[in-house]
């Protein structure tokens, strides 16, 4: 049984045969995609407070130093993003800033909020007002937390990371696979188009990689809500001095992701962390969120490639580069999205026109 799932009563049945079969998949066994997509976003690190202390993470600040973005900063960043043609407001921040962070709690209270999710709701409203579609990744979420903000998000996400317990998550307060899988299940039950993925190189072995991908497939088979799976290499930073997975590892695990998942689910590698150019023949069809406006606040030393570089990756693979929204096309107008999100996409505004022109373009190449 996958660790921690008993606490949530998630029966995930992965057979040894399936694991073995996936372990035999190599890059030459998968087909290359016929196009590569990407999404233009702004990154909004709502708070650097986090209840966990993952050893690979340079993002979180200790209590006393953690910050909270104020409404004006949120609005200003979204406005700059919309002006630069972005479609996504990516809210990615520390899990459940709890009582260890009294300053954060007090600041939220002063702004009239009991919890970070209440504040996230307001932040999503601001993003929508400024012409962006919210995609929030607040880490693990309970059903109540997710239900509180789901109708103001075009899609949401959390990285599964891995189904095994690793030292990198160790200590008394740690991410656990059961909690992450429960978040995927809650998203399925609430009908939220969802992004997830695995973090490669944090102490898991090949068996765990296969198991993680199969667990994601199983969740998708139940609910149909997984839109993309990110295959993310852990990268060096001031807190993580360990190795990053080598190219051969990334090629094999990316091909495994492609083979494990149904065709409708995209396989993404982040082009600022992974050697995307050398992975296009391993089944990837997406290059994730890229920002012309903000840095990657999780790995600020790793710059976003310019649009030109993405075009070059696609050209080398001899496929078109296409822009997409933070929610994949098949979920739009199909009963998955809330009224406010469908209204934003259908609106008679500059932003609405921008969203629809991206949908209308379909698989045509980006014209620039
Ligand atoms: O759901 C997630 N999306 C993440 N994304 C978002 C993802 O690239 C796009 O927002 C999705 O593809 C939207 O569909 C990131 C985007 C960045 O710019 C930087 C880091 C991440 C990391 C995650 C992530 O951990 N989980
Ligand atoms: C938002 C996501 O960022 C990822 N993340 C956090 N730290 C690193 C790192 N050093 N390298 C790669 N990915 C990282 C985790 O997978 C987290 O879920
Ligand atoms: C910098 S990580 C951001 C999202 C969340 N804290 C997670 O780990 O999933
Ligand atoms: S990766 Fe996410 S959960 Fe882990 S310490 Fe960083 S912010 Fe917190």
Is 0.90 exceeded by the ipTM? yes
Q: Coil, strand or helix: which one is 226?
A: strand
- Ligand 1 atom at shortest distance from the alpha carbon of 327: 14
- Angle (nearest 5°) at CA 351 between 333 and 91: 80
pLDDT for residue 173 is more than 80? no
* Stretch 289-294: mean pLDDT: 94
Summarize pLDDT for 297-318 with one digit per residue, the tens.
999 999 998 889 999 999 999 9
Binding residues for [4Fe-4S] cluster: 50, 54, 57
Nearest bound ligand to CA 198?
Answer: 2
Nearest bound ligand to CA 136?
Answer: 1
pLDDT for residue 367 is more than 70? no
**Check whether domain 5-296+303-361 has CATH 3.20.20.70, yes or no:** yes
- Closest Cα to atom 5, ligand 2: which residue? 57
Task: Find out whether the beta carbon of 45 lies less than 6 Å from any atom of ligand 3.
Answer: no
* Contact criterion met (CB below 8 Å) for 239 and 56: yes
- Ligand 1 atom at shortest distance from the alpha carbon of 195: 1
Q: Could you state, in order of their start, the residue ranges of all structural domains in the chain?
A: 5-296+303-361
Q: Which helix (H) or strand (E) is 211 found in, with range?
A: helix 206-223
Summarize pLDDT for 263-276 with one digit per residue, the tens.
999 999 999 999 99
Contacting residues for 213 by C-beta, under 8 A, at least 6 apart: 22, 198, 229, 256, 257, 260, 261
Gap from CA of 57 to ligand 2 centroid (Å):
6
For ligand 3, mutation pick of 46, 54, 137 (most atoms within 8 Å of CB): 137
Gap from CA of 58 to ligand 4 centroid (Å):
8
Q: How far apart are CA 352 and CA 340, in angstroms?
A: 12
* Stretch 168-193: mean pLDDT: 93
Gap from CA of 50 to ligand 3 centroid (Å):
8
Confidence of residue 362 (pLDDT cuts 50, 70, 90): low
């Amino acid at each position: 049984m996958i660790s921690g799932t008993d606490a949530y009563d998630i029966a995930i049945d992965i057979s040894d045969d399936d694991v073995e079969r996936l372990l035999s998949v190599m890059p030459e066994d998968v087909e290359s995609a016929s196009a590569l997509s990407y999404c233009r976003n702004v990154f909004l690190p709502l708070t650097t407070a986090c209840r966990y202390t993952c050893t690979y993470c340079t993002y979180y600040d200790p209590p006393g130093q953690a910050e909270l973005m104020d409404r004006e900063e949120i609005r200003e960043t979204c406005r700059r993003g919309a002006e630069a043609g972005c479609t996504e407001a990516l809210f990615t921040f520390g899990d459940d800033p709890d009582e260890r962070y009294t300053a954060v709690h007090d600041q939220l209270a002063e702004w009239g909020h009991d919890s970070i999710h209440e504040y996230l709701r307001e932040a999503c409203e601001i993003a929508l007002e400024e012409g962006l579609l919210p995609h929030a990744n607040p880490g693990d979420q309970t059903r109540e937390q997710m239900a509180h903000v789901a109708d103001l998000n075009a899609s949401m996400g959390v990285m599964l990371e891995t189904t095994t317990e690793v030292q990198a998550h160790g200590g008394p307060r740690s991410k656990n696979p059961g909690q992450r899988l429960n978040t995927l299940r809650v998203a399925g039950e609430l009908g939220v188009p969802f992004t997830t993925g695995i973090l490669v190189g944090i102490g898991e072995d090949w068996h765990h990689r296969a198991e993680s991908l199969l667990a994601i497939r199983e969740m998708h088979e139940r609910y149909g809500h997984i839109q993309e799976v990110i295959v993310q290499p852990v990268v060096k930073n001031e807190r993580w001095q360990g190795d990053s997975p080598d190219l051969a590892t990334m090629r094999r695990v990316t091909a495994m992701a492609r083979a494990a998942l149904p065709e409708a689910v995209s396989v993404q590698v982040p082009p600022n962390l992974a050697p995307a150019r050398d992975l296009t023949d391993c089944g990837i069809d997406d290059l994730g969120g890229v920002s012309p406006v903000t840095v990657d606040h999780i790995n600020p030393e790793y710059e976003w490639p310019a649009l030109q570089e993405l075009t070059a990756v696609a050209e080398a693979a001899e496929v078109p580069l296409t822009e997409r929204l933070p929610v994949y096309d098949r979920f739009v107008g199909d009963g998955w999205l809330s009224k406010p999100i469908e209204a934003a996409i259908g609106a008679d505004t500059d932003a609405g026109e921008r969203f629809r022109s991206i949908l209308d373009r379909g698989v045509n190449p980006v014209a620039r």
